[in-house]
Chain A
Amino acid sequence: KNEVEQSPQNLTAQEGEFITINCSYSVGISALHWLQQHPGGGIVSLFMLSSGKKKHGRLIATINIQEKHSSLHITASHPRDSAVYICAGMDSNYQLIWGAGTKLIIKP
């Protein structure tokens, strides 16, 4: 069964720090979503990527197909970045397989 694993499970950092969240996946996943879930519960799609790197503001997502690994980076982190970050891999049947999420807390 395809699996998607995230690390770390929890991350606390100081404002301004560079943040990295990792996502590893098994064979058969062709693309990867990164999503953000706010403390209030709302979910926002951040990136969808199958190769290379994407950037949006202070957020950067990379994927290495050969190593079956993706990372989400946040530069100049801010308390408003505090959220749960979730990665999800898409398998060959177009079904999404979800990681358990990384809870990020940025302290002022």
Chain B
Amino acid sequence: EAQVTQNPRYLITVTGKKLTVTCSQNMNHEYMSWYRQDPGLGLRQIYYSMNVEVTDKGDVPEGYKVSRKEKRNFPLILESPSPNQTSLYFCASSFGPWSPQHFGDGTRLSIL
């Protein structure tokens, strides 16, 4: 089954404790992206990747890192999480930014 898998789905953690949210897709998509969704602000892009080893900043990259060592995986890293990064995060993939995107189920992060 074609899917985008995010883990974990839910996480409660504390300020400053490094965390990684994994994202994996099995559709051989080249384009992958991370978004955060906050009430009243809609979806905002954090980082995107056009292909392996190619990553670019989105609208709100501060406090986040990503890597794209393999086509299927695009982890989101919070080196020193802060409470303002409490949000609902979505990973998405597609053949290209001009193609319909497939979204993961979302990861709800709470940073205390």
A interface residues with partner B (beta carbon < 8 Å): 31, 33, 35, 41-45, 47-48, 50, 86, 88, 90, 93-96, 98-101
**When chains A and B are docked, how far (Å) is the Cα of A88 from the Cα of B102?**
14
* B42, A48: Cβ atoms closer than 8 Å: no
**When chains A and B are docked, how far (Å) is the Cα of A43 from the Cα of B101?**
9
Q: Is B45 an interface residue (CB 8 A)?
A: yes
B 14-46 contacts with A by CB, 8 A: 33, 40-45
B100-112 Cβ-contact flags toward A at 8 Å (1 or 0): 1111011000000
Q: Which B residues touch A35, using CB under 8 A?
A: 101
* B42, A100: Cβ atoms closer than 8 Å: yes
The prevalent SS among residues of A at the interface is strand
* B43, A88: Cβ atoms closer than 8 Å: yes
Q: Is B88 an interface residue (CB 8 A)?
A: yes
Q: Out of A41, A45, A90, name the residue touching B97 (CB < 8 Å).
A: A90
Tell me, rounded to whole Å, the shortest Cβ–Cβ distance linking B39 to chain A: 11
* A86, B43: Cβ atoms closer than 8 Å: yes
* A95, B88: Cβ atoms closer than 8 Å: no
* B42, A95: Cβ atoms closer than 8 Å: no
Q: Is B84 an interface residue (CB 8 A)?
A: no
Q: A41-B88, A88-B43, A90-B97 are in contact. Are A95 and B58 (CB under 8 A)?
A: yes
Q: Which A residues touch B106, using CB under 8 A?
A: 41-43
- Could you show 30 A-B contacts with beta carbons less than 8 Å apart? A41-B88, A41-B105, A42-B103, A42-B106, A43-B90, A43-B103, A44-B103, A45-B101, A45-B103, A47-B100, A48-B98, A48-B99, A86-B43, A90-B97, A93-B56, A94-B48, A94-B50, A94-B97, A95-B45, A95-B48, A95-B58, A96-B33, A96-B97, A98-B42, A98-B43, A98-B44, A98-B45, A100-B40, A100-B41, A101-B42
